[in-house]
Amino acid sequence: MDEMKTTAEPAEKKKLTLKEFLYEAFEELCYVAVLVILLFMFVGRMATVSGGSMLNTLHDEDRIIMTNFFYTPERLDVVVVDKQDGYYAEELIIKRIIAMEGETVHIDFDTWTVTVDGKVLDEPYIKREYGPMDREDMTTDTFTVPEGCYFVMGDNRNGSTDSRSDLVGFVKESEILGHAVFRLFPVDSIGVIE
């Protein structure tokens, strides 16, 4: 039986002209641009943090990526909210979900303790100051979250207008634009948002 030997000839590399190289590079950039646009349309969007209500988790001018792709809001998620009415109707706000529909939130302003349905939340992320938590325009310390809504608070409790105030109130699920998942800027703080 004769063995057939085959040898693969190395394919000759075609040298591209400058015009061909530029065309191929432009074509690749177009593919990448379309992919990025599709990702931002369907998976995530960029937003800029405005203000200090989420200190020390997020800072003014931080650039974040939020997503609503297959997203169901959960307790302690940091979310971007587009309030449909009230004081912040024209602005996006960023807060942390503290309680879900049907749950009761109690805030002890003296000890900074937040309880949900009688369970104390472990909140290592809050920016706590000495003395009691500011009450300002807060008329109560107990809130029951209505159906289809969430109770949100900023991590900087003394520098946040949130669900404790009638200026924001409860957040409807339809007002949640997305879950803030990643910080892009500043470069020294790039990473997952917790």
**What residues act catalytically?**
53, 95
* Pairing of the two strands 63-67 and 176-185: antiparallel
Closest CA to 141 of 149, 131, 133: 133
Distances (CA, A) of 144 to 27, 101, 106: 55, 8, 9
- Answer whether 52's CB lies under 8 Å from 59's CB: yes
- Quote the CA–CA distance of 149 and 115 in Å, as a whole number: 18
